[in-house]
């Protein structure tokens, strides 16, 4: 269990994390979602005590991370930035970390096998690809058989097999009752693994909700209607109701504010033929974009600063 | 790359232990041994000490018959013999800096401080392991250099014996001096955190500051210079004691500089973000 209370971190003039409060519960996968530069990695460093908060506090399993007698047994962490001496072999890297807690050699071997680095365990970590580096980081995170697992962008650089493996691993860890906290800037990735979402933008909490709730809230009740009498239908639907209707193409409307059933009934009443009547589920990606639009730190130059929501 | 294990069967629980200073020392020992550059630097220091000492003795032995009487009077067989220490101190000082700055430059420090979030045990362990390894390696190096060098000089009967005045003190002192040099570098590395900056500050304090003192008025220079780290430390290598600082007081002062750099490094280590 991770509990953050009013967590704030300034780097000079810049506020990287701004009054974040959240609880990461055991037994489920909690996604930590936000655009690049939204404070996810900083928050994770604060959790581990690598950086000291400007204000507020964050505890892991009831204590500050640094106050645990055996921290690797409490939290296993994979940070986004590489945390390996490039001149040391994967095996010796894990061995040195294990020795701080008296974790035996056998456990190091098990972790190397688990992440599939057996054949390269004696090679210097500096020669590893991004994906192999991620696997080494995951082996280090699981070394202490921790109650809480915290991974920063774990699928970065992994091949499809590795990504699939990570998803199963995270679900497996949560099913064992552990606290699993995973950051990503990819909504689609979280949709596949996470049960709960903590969404941040510019260091502030935007949403703290289940994935289902997040989707339902975001889908905004849009219905796509195709009809040869679209103009007629548009007038009928708009009559005396609080709806917004957008003409997508000739004969194609998107209606916000009415259910598919309501639209169908209006059409039947007036004898209007419908060729399509589809409730639109906004994709998670769209929902995420909507939520964080104003909070994206680095917009691409091509993208206008203010965009109207299309949906 | 071998295939990933089936995660439906996670390996069982790891035996649970807590972080202790002794365990962190063991971890630092593994870290020190398992990096190629560390092994090379230590080996280089070992063989510089012996090899350069031997070459210097050979050269002197060859020229000794042609040397002027005044130079012969100034000559001390031990000083020539320990010429290699000059180069060894550079290798060891730089290694001392690297032992901590390489962790910052590679990001390893985040893994180290995640495993040992109280941080200070990591610094103490580095000091203990690096100090012990340097002394354990450099004492035999100095002794081997002595016996090889004196055997060369003995052919011209210009050697000294181990039991001659000052000899044992200078030899053990040289190994201690090199150890303190390494720890001074480590302390500076902990303060600066950056490899280039750490090496630059080490070289500046040790080797650039002393000649710079010459710009001061002579009386100031004479009063201050013996207390600089390098001069203070080298008092232990003197075969003609009676300078400003006695050999052991000088070494102690040098150790004081090293301790101060480590203490400042320790305070910053705990306070700063990583």
Q: To the nearest 10°, the Cα dihedral for A151, A155, A156, A161?
A: 150
Q: Report the range of poorest mean pLDDT among A16-20, A288-292, B80-84, B92-96.
A: A288-292
Average of per-residue pLDDT values in chain A: 87
Tokens standing for B98? Answer: 């690297």
Tell me which residues of chain A, numbers 133 to 162, contact chain B at a CB-CB cutoff of 8 Å.
140, 143-145, 161-162
Q: How confident is the model at residue A303 (pLDDT cuts 50, 70, 90)?
A: very low
pLDDT of residue A157 exceeding 90, the answer is: no
Tell me what pLDDT residue B221 has: 87
Question: C-alpha distances in angstroms, B269 versus B109, B201, B261?
Answer: 11, 18, 12
Residue of B nearest to A144 (CA): B14
Distance from B193 to chain A by nearest Cα, in Å?
15
Across the interface, do B2 and A118 touch by the CB < 8 Å criterion? yes
pLDDT of residue B5 exceeding 70, the answer is: no
Greatest mean pLDDT among A223-227, B1-5, B137-141: B137-141
Tell me what pLDDT residue A248 has: 84
Q: Tell me the ipTM for this assembly.
A: 0.91
Across the interface, do B4 and A116 touch by the CB < 8 Å criterion? yes
Across the range B210-238, mean pLDDT stands at: 90
pLDDT of residue A302 exceeding 50, the answer is: no
CA B165 to chain centre: 25
Across the interface, do A83 and B11 touch by the CB < 8 Å criterion? no
pLDDT of residue B272 exceeding 60, the answer is: yes
Distance between CA atoms of A230 and B128, rounded to whole angstroms? 82
Residues of B in contact with A117 (CB under 8 A): 1-2
pLDDT of residue B3 exceeding 70, the answer is: no
* A164 interface with B at CB cutoff 8 Å: no
Nearest to B115 among A71, A86, A118 (CB): A71
Across the range A30-46, mean pLDDT stands at: 92
Q: How confident is the model at residue B7 (pLDDT cuts 50, 70, 90)?
A: low
Q: How confident is the model at residue A306 (pLDDT cuts 50, 70, 90)?
A: very low
Q: How confident is the model at residue A307 (pLDDT cuts 50, 70, 90)?
A: very low
pLDDT tens readout for residues B52-107: 999 999 999 888 888 888 888 888 889 899 999 999 999 999 999 999 999 999 99
Nearest to B26 among A71, A99, A120 (CB): A99
pLDDT tens readout for residues B96-124: 999 999 999 999 999 999 999 999 999 99
Q: How confident is the model at residue A116 (pLDDT cuts 50, 70, 90)?
A: very high
Q: Report the range of poorest mean pLDDT among A132-141, A294-303, B264-273.
A: A294-303
Across the interface, do B111 and A72 touch by the CB < 8 Å criterion? no
Give backbone dihedrals phi and psi of A4, rounded to 5 degrees, phi first. -105, 135
Interface A–B counts its CB contacts (< 8 A) at: 154
* Dihedral sign (CA A289, A295, A301, A304): positive
Quick one: what percent of chain B has pLDDT higher than 90? Answer: 73
Residues of A in contact with B19 (CB under 8 A): 69-71, 100-101
pLDDT of residue A309 exceeding 50, the answer is: no
pLDDT tens readout for residues A231-253: 899 888 888 777 888 888 888 98
Residues of B in contact with A92 (CB under 8 A): 30-31, 34
Residues of B in contact with A130 (CB under 8 A): none
Is beta strand A196-201 parallel, antiparallel or unpaired with respect to A204-210? antiparallel
Tell me what pLDDT residue A222 has: 79
For every residue of chain B, DSSP letters joined together read -PPPPPTTS---PPPP----HHHHHHHHHHHHHT-HHHHHHHHHHHHHHHHHHHHHHHHHHHHGGGS-HHHHHH--HHHHHTHHHHHHHHHHHHHHHHHHHHHHHHSHHHHHHHHSTT-HHHHHHHHHHHHHHHHHHHHHHHHHHHHHHHHHHHTTT----TTSTTHHHHHHHHHHHHHHHHHHHHHHHHHH-SHHHHHHHHHIIIIIHHHHGGGS-HHHHHHHGGGSHHHHHHGGG-SS--SSS-HHHHHHHHHHHHHHHHHHHHHHHHHS--
Q: How confident is the model at residue A108 (pLDDT cuts 50, 70, 90)?
A: very high
Distance between CA atoms of B243 and B225, rounded to whole angstroms? 12
Across the range A289-295, mean pLDDT stands at: 67
pLDDT tens readout for residues A165-176: 999 999 999 999
Q: How confident is the model at residue A305 (pLDDT cuts 50, 70, 90)?
A: very low
Tell me what pLDDT residue B14 has: 61
Number of H helices, E strands in chain A: 11, 13
Tell me which residues of chain A, numbers 183 to 202, contact chain B at a CB-CB cutoff of 8 Å.
none
Quick one: what percent of chain A has pLDDT higher than 70? Answer: 88
Tell me which residues of chain A, numbers 63 to 82, contact chain B at a CB-CB cutoff of 8 Å.
65-66, 68-73, 75, 77, 79, 81-82
Q: Which of A53, A101, A118 to mutate against chain B (most B CBs within 10 Å)?
A: A101
Across the interface, do A86 and B3 touch by the CB < 8 Å criterion? no
Q: How confident is the model at residue A298 (pLDDT cuts 50, 70, 90)?
A: low
Across the range B216-245, mean pLDDT stands at: 88
């Amino acid at each position: 269990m991770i509990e953050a209370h009013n967590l704030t971190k300034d780097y000079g003039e810049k506020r990287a994390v701004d009054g974040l409060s959240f609880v990461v519960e055991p037994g489920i996968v909690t996604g930590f979602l936000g655009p690049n530069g939204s404070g996810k990695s900083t928050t994770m460093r604060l959790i581990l005590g690598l950086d000291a908060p400007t204000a507020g506090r964050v505890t892991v399993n009831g204590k500050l991370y640094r106050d645990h007698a055996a921290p690797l047994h409490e939290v296993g962490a994979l940070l986004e930035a590489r945390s390996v001496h490039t001149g040391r072999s994967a095996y010796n890297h894990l061995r040195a970390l294990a020795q701080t807690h008296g974790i035996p050699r056998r456990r190091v071997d098990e972790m190397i096998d688990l992440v599939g680095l057996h054949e390269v365990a004696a090679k210097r970590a500096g020669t590893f690809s991004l994906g192999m580096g991620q696997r080494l980081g995951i082996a280090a995170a699981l070394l202490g058989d921790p109650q809480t697992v915290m991974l920063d962008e774990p699928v970065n650089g992994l091949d499809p097999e590795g990504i699939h493996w990570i998803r199963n691993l995270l679900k497996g860890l949560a099913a064992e009752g552990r606290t699993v906290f995973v950051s990503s800037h990819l909504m689609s990735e979280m949709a596949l693994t996470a049960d709960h979402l903590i969404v941040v933008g510019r260091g502030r909490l935007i949403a703290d909700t289940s994935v289902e709730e997040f989707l339902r809230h975001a889908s905004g009740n849009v219905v796509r209607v195709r009809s040869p009498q679209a103009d007629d239908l548009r007038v009928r639907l708009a009559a005396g109701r609080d709806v917004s209707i957008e003409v997508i193409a000739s004969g194609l409307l998107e209606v916000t504010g009415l259910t598919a059933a309501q639209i169908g009934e209006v059409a039947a009443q007036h004898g209007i033929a419908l060729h399509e009547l589809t409730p639109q589920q906004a994709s998670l990606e769209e929902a995420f974009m909507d939520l964080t639009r104003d909070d994206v730190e680095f917009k691409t130059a091509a993208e206008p600063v203010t965009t109207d929501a299309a949906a | 790359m071998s295939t990933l294990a089936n995660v439906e069967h996670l390996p069982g629980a790891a035996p649970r232990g807590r972080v202790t200073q002794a365990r962190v020392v063991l971890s630092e020992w593994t870290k020190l041994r398992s990096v190629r550059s560390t092994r090379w630097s230590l080996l280089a220091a070992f063989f510089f000490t012996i090899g350069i000492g031997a070459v210097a003795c050979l050269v002197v032995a060859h020229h000794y018959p042609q040397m002027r009487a005044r130079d012969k009077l100034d000559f001390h067989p031990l000083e020539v013999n320990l010429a290699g220490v000059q180069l060894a101190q550079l290798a060891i000082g730089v290694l001392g800096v690297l032992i901590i700055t390489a962790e910052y430059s590679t990001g390893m420090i985040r893994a180290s401080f995640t495993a040992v979030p109280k941080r200070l045990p990591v610094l103490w362990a580095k000091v203990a392991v690096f100090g012990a390894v340097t002394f354990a390696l450099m004492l035999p190096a100095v002794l081997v250099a002595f016996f090889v060098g004196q055997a060369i000089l003995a052919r011209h009967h210009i050697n000294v014996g181990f039991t001659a005045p000052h000899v044992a003190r200078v030899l053990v002192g040289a190994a201690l001096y090199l150890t303190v040099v390494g720890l001074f570098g480590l302390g500076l590395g902990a303060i600066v955190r950056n490899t280039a900056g750490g090496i630059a500050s080490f070289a500046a304090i040790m080797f650039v500051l002393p000649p710079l003192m010459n710009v001061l008025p002579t009386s100031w220079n004479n009063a201050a210079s013996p207390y600089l780290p390098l001069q203070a430390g080298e008092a232990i290598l003197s075969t003609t004691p009676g300078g400003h600082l006695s050999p052991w007081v000088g070494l102690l002062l040098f150790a004081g500089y090293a301790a101060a750099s480590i203490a400042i490094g320790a305070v910053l280590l705990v306070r700063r973000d990583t």
